[in-house]
Amino acid sequence: MLDAKKREVEEWYTLYSESIFKYIFMMTHDYQQAEDLTQETFVKVFVHYDSFHRNSSPKTWIYRIAHNVTVDAQRKKKPLLKVKEFFQTADPKPLPEEVVTIRESSVELFQLLQKLKSNYREVIVFRKVKGLSTKETAEILQWSESKVKMTLNRALTALEKEMEKEGYKYEKFI
C-alpha cells in the first residue's frame, strides 16, 4: 500500500509540480518561496493522501492544497512586510530565471497581474493562464461556479483598465 501511494504521489509530482510552482510563483512573486511552498504542497499531498476521496481530479485536489499552503504562507507574513511590498518602488521586472518560469505569459502581463487584487489574479491565473475549467476553479477556491464567472469578468475588466492605464495596446486576447 505504501509503495502504491508513493508511486502515485511521485507520478502526480512529475505531472503537476511545474504547474503548481508557476501558480504559487505568480501568487507570491518570490522564486525561493514558490519552490518551498511547492515542496510543502507535495509533502501535504503525501501526508493527506488517504483523505483524497477521488470526488475530483488529482490536479484539482493538489491545486486546492497549493492554494491553501500559499494563503497560509501569505497570512504568516508580518504586516510590516505587506506594507513594505505595497509601497515598494523598486523596478518590478522579474529576474531572468523567473521570466523563464512563467513562460506561458508575457512579462508585461505578469507585471500587470501583480497590480490586481489577489482574488482577481488567482481567478485569471487558474482560468486563463492554467486553462482550468470554471468547475475546477470553483473547487480549488471553494467558490460557486457563478462566483468564479463573476470574479473572472470583473478581473478581466480590471486587467483591461490596468492595460489602458499603462498605455498598452491590446486585443481581447484573454
Q: How do residues 19-54 score in pLDDT, each as one tens digit?
A: 999 999 988 888 999 999 999 999 999 999 999 988
pTM score, whole prediction: 0.63
Please tell me the predicted confidence (pLDDT) of residue 1.
Answer: 67
Q: Please, which residues have CB within 8 angstroms of residue 94's CB and are 6 or more apart in sequence?
A: 29, 102, 107, 110
**pLDDT above 90: residue 130:** no
| pLDDT: which is higher, 92 or 29 | 29
